[in-house]
Structure 1
């Protein structure tokens, strides 16, 4: 995997809205956040757009911003402003070879999982992590965000927020090593059968989800199983499955019970409750970097640097 150069003071960070539209003041808040980290924000030409009520501009506009940022050798990172929906609509419009020619950190999560899967196909490490437009960016999120983007050394065992259990819960004990791959469950499932589908063999699959009913989570996990994804992975690290509207009601299983049912028989280590996903205390996970999952200990360890020394 190609590692993008580490970010440093003065690095130029493109702000791109490849999915949903930004709320009022969202772009300005994101620019302030980039400056607070000592970097220079470069707002995409169309990042304040809106189309069809749920897209940040037309497909042509959103693709143009992302394409331009990928091809620009003067940019050091692309930080996606928010998730929502829309990245899948433009994946086939993007010149992905430009990413390998001019490696730069791609940062975001949720719907931007589709971008990360495309980056994996291009052979470049990318970063599943918080978006910059949010009103809050807790210290915990910052303290796991900055090191993986600025320090060309392995991050080691990732920390848990203060006041939490300090570890994930083992669904199946054991240890596994492999490249970190995954993201939002819906996007991982939706890209199956496309040129951007996940390449799961030997990977530590990580997944998160928000706002889905229990039966839909069941369907998504069953889809991964039938597609052979779950039978190919070395281990599974599960983050937040948040805002599940019918969890445990009217005889429906809890998320934990569903995960145990759908995943427990795979014969690989599985742990549930890592701090990433649609939560404030959100880890930044470098996709494509080798990691060790110790389900019994409830830990995830990054074994390789996520960024390269700058030349």
Structure 2
């Protein structure tokens, strides 16, 4: 592990809250994982920053391409570390996920982020950096829309409520049901195991969380409210990852589990398939803690912004999540 990467392992210590975003905040746009395949991706990221009142600051290699990566490891790492070290940058916003963060994770300068906390925003493959920011830098990180994404009103309200207000965001919103459907399937939240729990938020993309097992970057889950999402996975692989988490004891002392969207979930086993809720019941429903699924977290336009390391209250019976601490200062 490099010297720059050696932040203290924060353990149960509450992470520091970065300063809130304000009008004119300078936001570094970086691509630490997959490449931008369309030039308009970067144009939209710039435009979104300006529409929100921020000044975009492009990383020098943000349009780079090296196979399925947004530039070489050194280029992507250089842009991210430069943003962490730049005193004029107020936030770091990843333009997309993809693949590639695990290739550079052990060389990221988390010490620089620890010295001057700033919001780090993204999801999917960015899950590894978000969790490492909490565990190694001791700074709240934000699982939310990437910078090239559309920002419909639902997403914008949560993004700004969490990142621009130095007070608890309170109860997060629910997507409205279609007005002409009696019992909708879309955007439905289901209680798997009832109850109410409170604890710090941890989690992100299920596949990427598995990649962190056995590393210093795996999140502290004792007493945590774990949230999960994924995209394009087969159900048997979701089953296998949850089994892995159970085998290492990662699920033993959770306070609750908020399961988001598993977008484009496949069932390609020749021997048949279980239901998604059956798999969740096998690993999560028997833990004796609140568990629900269908929350607006993951690969969808309308999504919550969730601050890792901030305490939340989860009511699985009501299908509600409430942020009880401010995420920014």
TM-score grouping bracket, smaller chain normalisation? over 0.9
Selected match of 1:202 from 220, 223, 226 = 223
* Separation of aligned partners in 1, 2:268 and 2:225: 26
Write out per-residue CA displacement over residues 40-94 of structure 1, whole angstroms, 9 at most, x where no aligned residue.
000001110011x210000000000000101112111000010000011111111
Q: List gaps (5 residues or longer) in structure 1.
A: none
Decide which of 43, 60, 85 is 1:28's aligned counterpart.
Answer: 43
Aligned residue for 2:97?
83
Find the partner of 1:92 among 103, 106, 113.
106
Post-superposition, which runs of at least 4 consecutive aligned residues in structure 1 deviate over 4 A? 164-167, 247-250
Give the alignment partner of residue 13 of structure 1, picking from 16, 23, 27: 27
1:42 maps onto 2:63 in alignment: no
Among 201, 223, 241, the residue aligned to 1:180: 201
TM-score (norm 1): 0.95
Question: What is aligned with 1:268?
Answer: 289
Task: Call closer, same or farther: CA 1:55–1:61 in 2, change over 3 Å.
Answer: same
For residues 271 and 161 of structure 1, the distance between their equivalents in structure 2, rounded to whole angstroms, comes to: 15
User: Does the 8 Å CA contact 1:167/1:298 hold for their aligned counterparts?
Assistant: no
Aligned to 1:4: 18
Match of 1:283 among 304, 313, 317: 304
Over the aligned positions, Cα root-mean-square deviation in angstroms equals 1.5
Q: How does 1:157-236 map to 2 (within 5 A)?
A: 157-163=171-177, 168-236=189-257
User: Match of 1:129?
Assistant: 144
The count of corresponding residues between Structure 1 and Structure 2 is: 306
Structure 2 gap ranges (5+): 1-14, 179-183
Matched with 2:12 is none
Task: State the TM-score, normalized to the length of structure 2.
Answer: 0.90
Deviations 1:183-212 (A, max 9, x none): 000011110101111111110000001110
